[in-house]
Amino acid sequence: MAEPTWRPAGRSLRSTHTLRVSASAAVMGLLVLAVTLVPPLVPFDPEAVDLAARLQPPSCVHPFGTDGLGRDLLLRSTHGLRISLLVGVVAAAVATLLGTAVGVAAAARGGWTDRLLMRAVDCLSAVPHLLLGIFIVALFRPGLWPVVASVAVTHWLSTARIVRAEVLTLRTRPFIDAAISGGASRTRVAVRHFLPAVLPQAGLAAVLMVPHAMWHESALSFLGLGMPAHQPSLGTLVQDARGPLLAGDWWPTLFPGLLLILPALALAGLASAWRERINPRRRSELML
């Protein structure tokens, strides 16, 4: 029997998906190498002011050019990327843990616990993330951990909803009824059955949350409420580049902006691969 005509298209789709995942992994690997290797290898002090070299365009000496105070933008951008990635990863991890705990507790306990927790989620969701983040960081001095706390507190809500929906689906499975009939407590069922089942979804939410957390931190730093001047993030660098950009100097804005966009694109590709892995139906479609 002749092979169905739709199979080559499916193989092409699978090849495109594999290529995108490989490219995403390569980009993330290069970014991690950059934040690891560039600071010790570039022979410049990121805070050293050299007014004679201010606003130099990209060159062999300064591949990213210099800023308005003559500081090397390659070194400052990699330092900023390191801080932005640190904030994104830590905030996403904390938010995922909090959202997973709330989602599992709400669905496993049910009743008034579910209603109370979900109404709290609805109330917090009604407040814009940026506005709530500004309120939180305003209570502390500018620094790394206040920014991490503000991002984590404002980003766990969607994870709680996703995890709760997954647990509500699992509650209808026969093995859950068998465990409860056998005398297992709700806490034991939640820890032994619900929590392992929702970990893949929670992990996917964490990966997708990292670039969102980076953008949130960059927005706070752009407004002057995030990282202090001696710990520049990508948002701080973009904020400092507003004046040069209006004067026609594009490089202080372009390169920090690219380093803010590239992790988001790379993590989106990796999250796509994760989604196909935990969704067998979609993965089988790609295999056709």
Q: What is the CATH number of the domain that holds 198?
A: 1.10.3720.10
Range of the domain at 147: 84-287
Interior angle at CA 180, CA 177 and CA 184, nearest 5: 150
Q: With respect to residue 194, please indicate whether it lies within any of the assigned structural domains.
A: yes
In whole angstroms, what separates CA 51 from the centre of its chain? 36
Mean pLDDT by 10 residues, the chain (288 residues): 48 65 85 83 75 88 88 89 90 93 87 89 87 86 85 90 88 75 73 84 88 88 81 86 88 91 87 72 41
The two three-digit tokens of residue 55, written as one number: 């606003």
Cβ(79)–Cβ(227) below 8 Å: no
Q: With respect to residue 192, please indicate whether it lies within any of the assigned structural domains.
A: yes
Residue 283: the pLDDT is: 43
Residue 284: the pLDDT is: 40
Instruction: Give the single-character DSSP code of 130.
Output: H
Q: With respect to residue 12, please indicate whether it lies within any of the assigned structural domains.
A: no
SS3 state of residue 129 = helix
Residue 6: the pLDDT is: 45
Q: With respect to residue 271, please indicate whether it lies within any of the assigned structural domains.
A: yes
**Average pLDDT of the residues of the chain:** 82
Q: With respect to residue 246, please indicate whether it lies within any of the assigned structural domains.
A: yes
pLDDT in tens, 106-127: 888 878 888 999 999 999 888 8
- CA dist 192 and 186 (Å) reads 10
Whole-structure pTM value: 0.82
Q: With respect to residue 146, please indicate whether it lies within any of the assigned structural domains.
A: yes
pLDDT in tens, 183-219: 667 777 777 778 888 888 888 888 889 988 898 888 8
The domain tally of the chain equals 1
Q: What are the two backbone dihedrals, phi and then psi, of residue 232, each rounded to the nearest 5 degrees? A: -70, 135
pLDDT in tens, 128-154: 888 888 888 888 877 888 889 888 988
Q: With respect to residue 186, please indicate whether it lies within any of the assigned structural domains.
A: yes
